[in-house]
Amino acid sequence: MSGFSNFSEFYPYYLTEHSNRSCRRMHFIGSSLVIVVLVVALLTGQLGWLWLMPVAGYGCAWIGHYVFEKNRPATFKHPLYSLLGDWVMYGQMLRGKVSF
């Protein structure tokens, strides 16, 4: 259905869709904002702020794709693998395995 039989097959494709450094940076900013919103909402008990998580995460990522990468986000064709890819890439960026 997705063209990929598992995430291990998908992730190299995902990385090619994020070859532009500015796009990756926008993803990193968006993912970091998702974490900040989650933590603030939980610490303050203001759970109504949680609606900002997808706005911050996808908003930054999609700006990265449309403005810098000049491609269509993988989210539209591979939503679950793409979401997982976002967090795997985020972790790899934090560990220096994927450059900023």
Q: What is the pLDDT of residues 34-65, one digit of tens each?
A: 999 999 999 999 999 999 999 999 999 999 99
DSSP string for 63-99: HIIIIII-S--GGGT-HHHHHHHHHHHHHHHHTTSS-
**pLDDT of amino acid 13:** 97
Identify whether 67 is part of a domain: yes
Asked if 26 and 63 count as a contact pair (C-beta separation under 8 A), the reply is yes
Identify whether 21 is part of a domain: yes
Identify whether 1 is part of a domain: no
Q: Is 98 exposed, middle or buried (0-12, 13-18, 19+ CB in 10 A)?
A: middle
Tell me the pLDDT tens digit for each residue of 67-80.
999 999 999 999 99
Asked if 64 and 95 count as a contact pair (C-beta separation under 8 A), the reply is no
Provide the whole-model pTM: 0.93
What total number of domains does the chain contain? 1
Identify whether 2 is part of a domain: no
Residue 45's domain comprises 7-94
